[in-house]
Amino acid sequence: MKTILLTGAAGFLGSHVLKKLLEKNFNVIAVKRTATDIKRIKDISARVKFYDIDKLNPEKIYKENKIDIIIHTAVCYGRNNETADEVELSNIVFPLKLFELGMKNGVKLFINSDTFTKPDYGRLKYYTLTKKHFTEWLQILKDKTIVYNLVIHQMYGDADNDDKFIPFVIKNMLKNVKSLDFTKGEQKRDFIYIDDVCDAFIKVIENHNNKVGFNQFEIGTGKSTSIKEIVLLIKKISGRKDVLLNFGALPYTQNEEMNIKAKTDDILKELKWKYKTTINDGLLKTFNWYKENMEY
């Protein structure tokens, strides 16, 4: 069975990818920082070999293990007042080091999680800029191995970060707040359920071509749904008829794009991947998870 080196295993995306990999009986090695909170994966951590990347030279990982595949999901959003160079270190320097060491040690496949947002996007501009630059590095180094760059649209699901949009709305509905402020909510995004995103990673592992080079696919439903529609769906699921939704109380983010959706024809054709979860079913599953895990 192949051995996979996974970054970001304790994060939202990485934790779900990890669970899917273990379900498929892959041998998984995960890198993390010493202080990383692993509550998302505490119940399965015994099945994973961890390396604290801030305590060792990454070369040690390759000396002790034969790595077949690298999956990179670790990310620094810059939401905790990280400096520009700290974001760059996490989003470019660190994964580039793993990539180059991997190529020297016979890694056959590198899968990168990328973002659909543009580099000038509001408060996340450090994050989006560095993600774009790392993708450019992968394109330059494409002759070294098989690279798959997965441009993931607005993913959601259980155990997401509290500062994300959908968990924020769900938790406030469950807390019985009297009102919530939003923008007008006319902006549309392609919302994709986390289980479907993880299935895309598995499809790449199982069905990728064996040609050295750079491949890029967008991961989404191919449909866009407005923020207002999402909020109203969550309100309906919650049964909260009393909560006041103040659409238009907040301004739009700087350089906000109003309609974004994934182009999924290529990944359907080449990897036979397509989303399975409707927005209604995905939101219901997510809401019920938070309802049962409010202390999370």
Q: Which residues are catalytic?
A: 127
Distances (CA, A) of 27 to 15, 19, 43, 186: 15, 12, 17, 44
Residues 6+ apart with CB under 8 A from 175: none
Give the CA angle between residues 207, 76, 133 to the nearest 5°. Answer: 65
CA 167 to chain centre: 15
Cα–Cα dist 199/57, whole Å = 32
Q: Where do the DSSP E strands lie in the chain?
A: 3-7, 27-32, 49-52, 69-72, 109-115, 146-152, 154-156, 179-182, 188-189, 191-193, 213-219, 225-226, 244-247
Cα–Cα dist 39/115, whole Å = 25
Task: Say if CB 227 and CB 189 are below 8 A apart.
Answer: yes
Cα–Cα dist 217/152, whole Å = 9
CA 237 to chain centre: 25
Q: Where do the DSSP E strands lie in 186-254?
A: 188-189, 191-193, 213-219, 225-226, 244-247
